Amino acid sequence: MASFESELKRLEKGILRLSNLALFPKKIEVWGRENFVLQGPNIIVGNHIGSQKDVGLLFKIVPRPIFFTANKMIFNEGDLSFLVRKHLHRHLKDFGLFLHLLFNPFYAFVVDYISSNIARVGSIPVDLDGGRAEAVKMCEAYLRKGRAIIALQGRGRVDSRDANPYVKRFRHGASVMAYDLYQGERLSVPVTPLAMFGTHIPFPIPGTVKVNVGEPLYVKDHMKGSASETIEAFRRALEKRVKSLFLDIIRT
């Protein structure tokens, strides 16, 4: 059986073409590239505001093979069409519905490509309304093999009703992974925080996508009296750092 890395290399050009298409015609600016961890286990956490554009962006800028969890709905043509229609209507109203009809013939091609290839290059389809514990265990297995996990926080959109619509409250998944591996195996996994802005701008509207990458954080620096206290403390630290990175983007 071919390794993940060899499959990624074989499909790399196709993945980059789809990534470029998802981000067209946007420009990309990245700060802190030197903070990416180039080898060994790594968890990358960040805000999730641009649905599939966030995934395409990370494939372009992270300088190593990556694994990421993905909404299982993108593996079904009808569900994917529904997600895209909601996204376009939310941002562009009736014009968004027109764009949805215009691009609808491409969904079958995209879903066929995803279902045939993307699972072999690091995607873990999960139910966003359940099944997170299973996804965490799968990710921990990949980390033990020295691989990089993407753990985006949010549902891939900007909700103006939220107090902070661009950085959702972080879940415990990344913190749990880091804690489990440190406590159980003394494997200290660097967790790299990053913030994104601009991926929420609908396709094909021009704009600039900005990414700010921070230095890695470690759960061992946030140990408390119990497992739950440590996991919560590290979750808060990661969320606080991503919010800070996001504010730095806004201020520039």
What pLDDT, in 10s, does the model give residues 142-151?
Answer: 899 999 988 8
Return the pLDDT at 94: 66
pLDDT band at residue 103 under the 50/70/90 scheme: low
Cβ within 8 Å of residue 42, ≥6 positions away = 143, 147, 148, 149, 189, 190, 191, 192, 216
Flag whether pLDDT at 247 surpasses 90: yes
Query: Which CATH entry fits the domain spanning 26-73+125-251: 2.40.420.20, 3.40.50.1100, 3.40.50.1370, 3.40.1130.10?
Result: 3.40.1130.10
Picking from 113-117, 213-217, 220-224, 248-252, which range would have the lowest pLDDT averaged per residue?
113-117
Mean pLDDT (the chain, rounded): 79
Return the pLDDT at 128: 44
Mean pLDDT in residue range 41-56: 89
Retrieve residue 39's tokens.
């080898």
- Give the residue with greater pLDDT, 214 vs 17: 214
Please give the single-letter amino acid code of residue 54: D
Report, in angstroms and rounded to the nearest whole number, the Rg of the chain calculated over CA atoms.
18
pLDDT band at residue 32 under the 50/70/90 scheme: very high
Which pairing describes strands 208-213 and 123-126: parallel, antiparallel, or unpaired? unpaired
Residues 234 and 242: beta-carbon distance below 8 Å: no
What pLDDT, in 10s, does the model give residues 160-202?
Answer: 788 888 999 999 999 999 999 999 999 999 999 999 999 998 8
